[in-house]
Amino acid sequence: MKEYLELKRELAQRVRERIDYGREYEDEEIEAAIDDVLLGESLTIYPVELRRRLKKELFDSLRRLDILQLFMEDRSVTEIMINGMEHIFIERSGQISELDVEFESIEKLQDVIQRIVAGCNRVVNEASPIVDARLADGSRVNIVMNPVALNGPIVTIRRFPERPIDMQWLIEKDVISQEAADLLKMLVQAGYNIFISGGTGSGKTTLLNVLSRYIPADERVITIEDSAELQLQEIPNLVRLETRNRNEEGCREITIRDLIKCALRMRPDRIIVGEVRGAEAIDMMQCLNTGHDGSMSTGHANSSVDMMARLENMILMGMEIPLSAIRQQIASGVDIIVHLGRLRDKSRKVLEIVEVVGCESDEIRFNTLYEFEEQGQTGGGRVIGRLKKKGGLLHEKKLKTAGFFQEKLLGY
204 and 349 belong to one structural domain: yes
For the chain, report the end-to-end CA distance as a whole number of angstroms: 67
Mean pLDDT of 352-375: 94
Predicted pLDDT of residue 105:
82
Mean pLDDT of 349-363: 94
CA distance linking residue 128 with residue 106, whole number of Å: 18
250 and 303 belong to one structural domain: yes
Cα 167 to Cα 111, 185, 270: the distances in Å are: 39, 9, 21
Mean pLDDT of 75-83: 91
CA distance linking residue 132 with residue 305, whole number of Å: 28
Q: Residue 106: inside a domain, yes or no?
A: no
130 and 263 belong to one structural domain: no
Predicted pLDDT of residue 48:
67
Residue type at 200 in one-letter notation: T
CA distance linking residue 102 with residue 28, whole number of Å: 27
Could you report the per-residue pLDDT of 85-102, keeping only the tens digit for each? 889 999 987 789 998 888
Q: Residue 113: inside a domain, yes or no?
A: no
Could you report the per-residue pLDDT of 220-229, keeping only the tens digit for each? 999 999 877 7
Residue type at 344 in one-letter notation: R
Q: What is the residue range of 44's domain?
A: 1-63
337 and 209 belong to one structural domain: yes
**What pTM was estimated for this model as a whole?**
0.78
Q: What is the largest CA-CA distance in the chain?
A: 83
Neighbours of 61 (CB within 10 A): 24
155 and 255 belong to one structural domain: no
35 and 14 belong to one structural domain: yes
136 and 215 belong to one structural domain: no
* Residue 412: pLDDT over 50: no
Q: Residue 110: inside a domain, yes or no?
A: no
Q: What is the CATH number of the domain that holds 214?
A: 3.40.50.300
Neighbours of 362 (CB within 10 A): 12
pLDDT band at 194; cut points 50, 70, 90: very high
Mean pLDDT of 110-116: 87
- Of 18-32, 47-61, 98-112, 264-278, least confident by mean pLDDT is 18-32
* Residue 410: pLDDT over 60: no
380 and 289 belong to one structural domain: yes
Q: Residue 109: inside a domain, yes or no?
A: no
Q: Residue 149: inside a domain, yes or no?
A: yes
Mean pLDDT of 125-151: 87
134 and 227 belong to one structural domain: no
